[in-house]
Amino acid sequence: MSESSSELGAAGRKRSVDELVERLRAKTLAERLPLLAHLSIGRTLCKLRDAITNEEPVSPKAAKALLCCGIAMYRRHAVGEQGNEEGEDHEETMALVKQSSVLIFVLLASIEARSGGGTADVETAYEVVERANAATLAGVLEAGTPASRKRKAPDGQEEEEGEGEEAAPPPTANAGTLTMSVLQYVAQTLRDRASTEHERLADLFFRTSAACMAQKLLLAHGASDFVSLRATAGHEVPREKRLLGIAQAGESEAGQSVLRDILLSFLLPSGIIGVRRNLLLSRAASTSAGVDHADAVNQAHSVAMAGCEFIWQNGTDPLERACALLAGAAVLTTKGGEDPIRKQDAFVGRVSLPFLETTPPASGVKRLALLTDQKRWVLYKVDRKNKPQVLCNLGGFEGLCDCLLEFLGQ
């Protein structure tokens, strides 16, 4: 009786897609999800499936709200309900959260198929997805677009990229194109592909969709360099000395491990790195890296053995020096509990990198985000209404340095 009545609105009529999505949104955004809540979510998803299959109208607002529900469930699974809880009950809960996120993803793909997305070129869409999985973050500190960059030729003369060398691989699609490619690919292959592939693609889709939303919010006023007046205030300690202090914070065995794994996270394909909560690579990622990417592993090991301070003072590779700074900042901020480097949220949730998914900090705390599409480092705060206030918006290696100084209050 209760189940059948929940399908009906206050006037005894069948709920619309918009109303069902609103009910789902309220359930997925709840602070806790006990077993009964998962059962209710499952029933609502079944009703949404039936409504979408029966060609009931889906408004853009409902589709966006459904996307937000999927992102919320994806993040719950990535971070883990209630932090470090363990045991069979916790594993069962996480399995239910994961299943719900995948089902929401399939519903979104079904809506896309209805709207014509299922007629897209499936091979092209799949190629975009595979390029994204093979892409690395190694060039994130470079300025400008690939077409406008120049490099030094062996004789010291500048030449356009591509002259005197083999053509570069196709550029990786931006986050917006990638999300649409994932959705269109699944829209066309819903009946042909195994659910295990849907699980893999759901994570990619929701992670990239969240990055799109963050970029729109943080770059609402454009991608030009911006530094608040407070951030430009004079400091009695020279800039280089303050930066050296950050790097020196990583001078420990734990700091070496963090430096190694952060550098590997920039050097290795995203499909191998995946997403994690803490600072160190997962065992699966480390194993895969050792088998298929020996050069990157050797480079990261050598850099880690040299140490953050040495790399910062003597290194010539901007990426290695940037990772030395990030490792020092990680050691300075990742605190609390036993063995925080391995068990606590990286940077206590205050730094957003493509390979990290952490519990966000409280409002009013400075946060640093890397927006890979624009190659921008954005320092910001979030107020109690979840509205961001941008403090710094800078690109390249020097931009990271300035943002980190303000981020740490150095």
Q: Is the pLDDT of residue 214 over 50?
A: yes
Cα(345)–Cα(367) distance, rounded to whole angstroms? 14
Q: What Cα–Cα distance (Å) separates residue 333 from each residue in 159, 227, 246, 308, 349?
A: 42, 23, 11, 16, 9
Average pLDDT, integer, range 2-30? 73
Nearest to 135 by CA among 319, 300, 268, 264: 268
Element (H, E) at 226: strand 226-227
Residue type, 226: F
| pLDDT given for residue 115 in this prediction | 80
Q: Which residue has the tokens 């303000």?
A: 406
Assess contact for 301 and 259: CB atoms under 8 A.
no
Residue 172 has pLDDT above 80, yes or no: no
- Predicted pLDDT of residue 245: 96
Distance CA 6, CA 211 (A): 35
- Residue 229: predicted pLDDT: 56
pLDDT band of residue 26 (cuts 50, 70, 90) is very high
pLDDT at position 225: 83
Predicted pLDDT of residue 152: 40
Q: Which residues of 379-400 are buried (b: 16+ CB within 10 A; e: fewer)?
A: bbebeeeeebebbbbbbbbebb
CB atoms within 10 A of CB 310: 14
Where are the domains positioned within the chain? 2-115, 224-408
Percentage of the chain modeled with pLDDT above 90? 64
pLDDT, position 101: 95
In this model, does residue 3 exceed pLDDT 50? no
pLDDT at 206 over 60: yes
Least confident of 129-138, 187-196, 335-344, 349-358: 187-196
Question: For residue 79, what are the contacts with CB-CB under 8 A and spacing of at least 6?
Answer: 277, 345, 357, 358, 359
Place of tokens 């700074």: 325
Distance CA 103, CA 199 (A): 9
Taking the C-alpha atoms of residue 34 and residue 134, their distance in angstroms, rounded to an integer, is: 38
- pLDDT tens readout for residues 341-359: 999 999 999 999 999 999 9
Q: How many Å is the Cα radius of gyration of the chain?
A: 23
**Per-residue pLDDT averaged across 9-28, rounded?**
82
The residue type of 88 is E
Assess whether pLDDT exceeds 50 at residue 209.
Answer: yes
DSSP string, 227-263: E-TTTTS--SS-HHHHHHHHHHTT-SHHHHHHHHHHH
**CB contact at 8 A, 40 and 2:** no
Question: What is the Cα–Cα distance from 339 to 254, expressed in whole angstroms?
Answer: 10
Q: What is the mean pLDDT of residues 141-165?
A: 47
**Residue 83 scores a pLDDT above 50:** no
Q: Which of 112, 246, 250, 134 lies closest to 185, judged by CA? A: 112
Q: Does 160 have pLDDT greater than 70?
A: no
Residue 25 pLDDT exceeds 80? yes
- The yes-or-no verdict on residue 108 having pLDDT over 80 is yes
Token pair, residue 85, equals 């809880």
In this model, does residue 312 exceed pLDDT 70? yes
Cα angle at 197 between 195 and 199, to 5 degrees?
75
Nearest to 297 by CA among 285, 309, 308, 313: 285
The pLDDT value given to residue 310: 98
Q: What is the mean pLDDT of the chain?
A: 85
> Does the pLDDT at position 40 exceed 90?
yes
pLDDT at 201 over 80: yes
CA–CA gap between residue 258 and residue 243 (Å, rounded): 18
Provide the pLDDT confidence category of residue 124 given band limits of 50, 70 and 90.
Answer: confident
- Mark out the alpha helices in 155-238 (DSSP H runs): 175-189, 195-218
Which of 129-133, 162-166, 228-232, 397-401 is most confident? 397-401
> What residues have CB less than 8 Å from 322, skipping those under 6 apart?
141, 397, 400
The pLDDT tens digits for 229-277 are 555 556 778 899 999 999 999 999 999 999 999 999 999 999 999 999 9
Q: Please check the confidence at residue 221 and state whether its pLDDT lies above 50.
A: yes
- Model confidence, pTM: 0.85
SS3 at position 391: strand
